[in-house]
């Protein structure tokens, strides 16, 4: 008995030590990446980055048009994908939890959740870009929406399942129809978690490059026309990082720092909301 107890303590100590060491190993690389971004990006994060358009070879400039384009493409990606995800998650949680259709939807959602983003970009390229004959901001938003939908579906369903059934039963006992129960009780109880899922989806798509290379592409002009190729930060960073000019490299580092800071802020806000709601 003593030997078994000693063996369990040794296994526990070894497992705990390995877990701590691996955590420190991961944190070391994370800190190194953040420090590299700050060291190489912060000195070039000047006011001109936010006020001037992306420059051509040998010119000076900033990232204002790319920042605007990324904001618009991401915004419309959320506007398209989030309602679909919320409604699908609601259907799976409130209206059809155990049917074959529900299981099929969950399976397809898991497949979409694990699909490489470049595959989704190629799909939208074949579906939209080839059809209309040119790249566009709308195609980029559609590609990002395909990334948003499975994330929001999963979080919405899980958050609604956390709402106690006695709240639904109480509403039914008072004669409330099911749609009112969902809208005025379940949504209110789970709104923090649902909003967190949407914010996590924003953080997920904010730095996506591969889908935009096949859909929105890029340009060097200030434009709000979503029907044409549109500048965006991820593709601009990719192009400038591969370019031969030092000024382009500086802007690429500054843009990388901007995206990282934005994603970090969104992640912190989502965790803050989740901590205070559940």
How do residues 184-235 score in pLDDT, each as one tens digit? 999 998 988 898 889 889 989 988 999 999 999 888 888 889 999 999 999 9
Cα 65 to Cα 103: distance, rounded to the nearest angstrom: 43
Residue 277, pLDDT above cutoff 60: no
| Predicted pLDDT of residue 273 | 67
Give the DSSP letter of residue 175.
T
45-48: long-range pairs with CB below 8 Å, 24+: 45/254, 45/257, 45/258, 46/254
* Contact predicate 51/60, CB 8 Å: no
Residue-range domain boundaries for the chain: 2-44, 47-277
* Contact predicate 243/107, CB 8 Å: no
How do residues 51-100 score in pLDDT, each as one tens digit? 999 988 878 888 999 999 999 999 999 999 999 999 999 999 999 888 89
How do residues 234-248 score in pLDDT, each as one tens digit? 999 999 998 888 999
Q: What is the fold of 47-277?
A: MetI-like fold (1.10.3720)
Average pLDDT, the chain: 90
* Contact predicate 69/137, CB 8 Å: yes
Q: pTM for the whole thing?
A: 0.88
* 19 CB neighbour count, 10 Å cutoff: 10
- The closest alpha carbon to 202, from 264, 137, 128, 159, belongs to 264
Q: Is 49 helix (H, G, I), strand (E, B) or coil?
A: helix
How do residues 155-191 score in pLDDT, each as one tens digit? 999 999 999 988 998 988 888 899 899 999 999 989 8
How do residues 18-33 score in pLDDT, each as one tens digit? 999 999 999 999 999 9
Tokens of 131: 């059809």
Cα 23 to Cα 25: distance, rounded to the nearest angstrom: 5
Give residue 278's pLDDT band: very low, low, confident or very high (50, 70, 90). Answer: very low
Give the DSSP letter of residue 232.
-
How do residues 128-162 score in pLDDT, each as one tens digit? 999 998 999 999 999 999 999 999 999 999 999 99
Exposed e or buried b per residue across 34-46, where buried means at least 16 C-beta atoms within 10 angstroms of its C-beta: eeebeebbeebbe
């Amino acid at each position: 008995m003593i030997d078994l107890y000693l063996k369990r303590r040794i296994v526990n100590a070894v497992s705990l030590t390995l877990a701590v060491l691996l955590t420190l190993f991961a944190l070391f690389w994370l800190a190194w990446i953040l420090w590299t971004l700050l060291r190489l990006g912060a000195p070039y994060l000047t006011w001109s980055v936010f006020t001037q358009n992306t420059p051509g070879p040998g010119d000076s400039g900033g990232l204002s048009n790319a920042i605007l384009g990324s904001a618009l493409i991401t915004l419309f990606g959320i506007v398209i994908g989030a309602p679909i995800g919320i409604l699908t998650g609601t259907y799976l949680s409130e209206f059809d939890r155990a049917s074959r259709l529900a299981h099929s939807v969950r399976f397809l959602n898991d497949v979409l959740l694990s699909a490489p983003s470049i595959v989704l970009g190629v799909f939208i390229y074949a579906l939209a870009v080839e059809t209309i004959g040119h790249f566009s901001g709308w195609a980029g938003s559609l590609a990002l929406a395909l990334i948003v939908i499975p994330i929001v579906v999963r979080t919405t369903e899980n958050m609604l399942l956390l709402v106690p059934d006695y709240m639904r039963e109480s509403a039914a006992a008072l004669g409330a129809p099911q749609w009112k129960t969902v809208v005025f009780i379940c949504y209110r109880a789970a709104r923090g978690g649902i909003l967190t899922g949407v914010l996590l989806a924003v953080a997920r798509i904010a730095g996506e490059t591969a889908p935009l290379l096949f859909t929105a592409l890029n340009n060097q002009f200030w434009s709000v026309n979503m029907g044409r190729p549109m500048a965006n930060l991820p593709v601009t960073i990719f192009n400038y990082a591969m370019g031969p000019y030092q000024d382009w490299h500086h802007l690429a580092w500054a843009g990388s720092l901007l995206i990282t800071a934005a994603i970090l802020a969104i992640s912190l806000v989502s965790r803050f909301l989740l901590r205070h709601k559940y």
